[in-house]
Amino acid sequence: MNPIEIIAQYWPRLLDGTLMTIKLTFLGALIAALVSPGFALIRTHAAPLAQAPLRLYISFMRGTPILAQLFLIFYGSGQFRPILQDWGLWTFFRDPFNCALLAFALNSTAYQTEILRGGIMGVPQGEIEAAKAIGMTRFKTLRRVVFPHAYRIAWPALGNEVILLMKASALASVVTVFDIMGRTRQIFSRTFDFSIYLWAALIYLCITAIFVLIWRQAERRLSRHIEAHHKPRVAAQPAKEPQA
Amino acid sequence: MFELFSYGDTGWGDEILRGLAITVQLAIVTLPVGLLLGFLAAFASMSRLGPLRFLGFGYTTIMRGLPEILTLFVVYNGVGLLLNMALRWWNPERGATDFSPFAAGVIALGMVFGAFAGEVLRGAFQSLDKGQTEAGRAIGMTQGQIFRRIQLPQLWRFALPGLGNLWINMLKDTALVSVIALDDLMRMTKVAVGVTKQPFTFYLLACLIYWVMCVLSELVLYWMERRANRGIRRAV
């Protein structure tokens, strides 16, 4: 078969896989985005001893392969089946989609926390002092001064993290989730036609390209008040942090 | 409990160590391949020739956008297919030859490493002080001498943090080769799980081993960075 025939015959499956990849990536990134601001605040404000568990978690997530993390959750939960059944959690862990989502959310939370921490530390002290001077409460300062600026600093790095997560989501195919990669492997095992891999590559590249465009638009929106007056300064790079 | 991890027939210690050896071998063999590709990509994307620049840009952009596991399958199945076609063209009587998963792992991981390293090295090249190159030329150094004596030592200093991160990422990505049936740490763990029915224990052990390797790498990289920067006065 030629590449056109392959895509003509199998596009519904690939579309299905594409939606699954987007769903996994979006939900994983979203869950991590909800948890990471709190964690980032702990990383910047809590006492070193109180941070220890969080630092250990982040180091573990960044120092081990995401495939191993996925296996630890998906296959590893089987070892605790009786307990999980007692707690009514077994149906959750039996489903590969749930396990993949949990692994990706946990992994991305670690990365997003560190990125956001860099952003928070990049907020000039003067802005926080100014907020204090006009009588803002601590919470209000965080909401109106620190986080808006921190997100603007962290935005490009957060976009990179989402792309990394999208690429990592292809690993879900190994535990039988039918995302783009899962569908591609399924189709290849039937047709032995190599061109299906090239179609999959094209889809991944298109998703990345579209995402980059959307993310850049959002970035422009986040800093529209700056552009009106002068060119944005080179955003302070988040502090270089150790990998593991 | 510890009997499970013992060395010999009763435990899985030796099998897992054998897997670890494959993982380490794979990472160490991939590193020079990836660095070479990275240098080629960096030179190509800074070339004066348009088509070469396009090639460099295309390679780094596409490879960085693809999931590593897809790259691995493309190389494993695609190169295997090409290899068989070539061998059959050479000698029609020949049966199908299996492409070694180790070689596929080295090529795929090397290509991914090379694409990211190309960007790191290009950035490092562009942060070199132009005046120094001109000074080298002024005192009559050849292009090769300028590269070896002026550019390379500083390139190393600028690129080391980026390359260090890539090494750690690549070390973690080696776990993917277990999917194409190479007996690395991950796959030997899977074998142990299949027999002992203790998935959590063994996958946790595998995670801990990867973790230790990453932390050790980081210590070595920290030391290398300090050494590379020993001649530099830090602004206070």
pLDDT in tens, A81-104: 899 989 988 989 999 999 999 999
Average pLDDT (A221-243) is 61
Structural domain boundaries of chain B? 25-184
Q: How many CB pairs under 8 A join A and B?
A: 123
> Could you give the CA distance from residue A100 to residue A172 in angstroms, rounded to a whole number?
6
pLDDT confidence band for B236 (50 / 70 / 90): low
Average pLDDT (A129-156) is 93
**Chain B residues with CB-CB distance to A213 below 8 A:** none
Q: Which of A31, A8, A16, A10 is nearest to A165 (CA)?
A: A31
Least confident of B92-106, B132-146, B187-201: B92-106
Higher pLDDT, A234 or B156: B156
Whether A239 maps to a domain, the answer reads no
Q: What is the pLDDT of residue A227?
A: 63
Q: What is the pLDDT of residue A229?
A: 55
Whether A244 maps to a domain, the answer reads no
pLDDT at B98 over 80: no
Whether A166 maps to a domain, the answer reads yes
Classify B220 as helix, strand or coil. Answer: helix
Q: What is the pLDDT of residue B55?
A: 93
Average pLDDT (A68-75) is 95
Q: How far is A190 from chain B (nearest CA, A)?
A: 14
pLDDT at B234 over 90: no
What is the per-residue DSSP string for B105-147?
Answer: HHHHHHHHHHHHHHHHHHHHHHTS-HHHHHHHHHTT--HHHII
SS3 sequence, chain A?
A: CCHHHHHHHHHHHHHHHHHHHHHHHHHHHHHHHHHHHHHHHHHHHCCHHHHHHHHHHHHHHHHCCHHHHHHHHHCHHHHHHHHHHHCCCHHHHHCHHHHHHHHHHHHHHHHHHHHHHHHHHCCCHHHHHHHHHCCCCHHHHHHHHHHHHHHHHHHHHHHHHHHHHHHHHHHHHHHCCCCHHHHHHHHHHHHCCCHHHHHHHHHHHHHHHHHHHHHHHHHHHHCHHHHCCCCCCCCCCCCCCCCC
Q: What is the pLDDT of residue A244?
A: 46
Q: What is the pLDDT of residue A236?
A: 53
* Torsion on CA atoms A10, A74, A211, A8, rounded to nearest 10: 0
Residue A63: which of B81, B200, B214 has the nearest Cβ?
Answer: B214
pLDDT at B235 over 80: no
**Chain B residues with CB-CB distance to A209 below 8 A:** 65
Classify domain B25-184 at the CATH superfamily level: MetI-like (1.10.3720.10)
Q: CB contact, 8 Å: B81 with chain A? A: yes
pLDDT at B181 over 90: no
Q: What is the pLDDT of residue A240?
A: 53
Q: How far is A168 from chain B (nearest CA, A)?
A: 6
Q: What is the pLDDT of residue B233?
A: 72
Q: How many domains does chain A have?
A: 1
Tell me if A131 sits within 8 A of A147, measured CB to CB: no
Q: CB contact, 8 Å: B82 with chain A? A: no
State which residues form the domain around A102: 3-227
Q: Which of B132, B232, B215, B54 is nearest to A62 (CA)?
A: B215
Q: What is the pLDDT of residue A233?
A: 54
Whether A235 maps to a domain, the answer reads no
pLDDT confidence band for B13 (50 / 70 / 90): confident
Whether A242 maps to a domain, the answer reads no
Tell me if A142 sits within 8 A of A116, measured CB to CB: no
Interchain contact, B211 vs A59, CB within 8 Å:
yes
Over pLDDT 90: what percentage of chain A? Answer: 73
Average pLDDT (B70-79) is 90
Q: How far is B45 from chain A (nearest CA, A)?
A: 20
Highest-confidence segment of A35-39, B94-98, B178-182: A35-39
Give the best residue of B70, B75, B225 to mutate against chain A (max A CB count within 10 A): B70
The CATH number linked to A59 is 1.10.3720.10
> Could you give the CA distance from residue B50 to residue B30 in angstroms, rounded to a whole number?
29
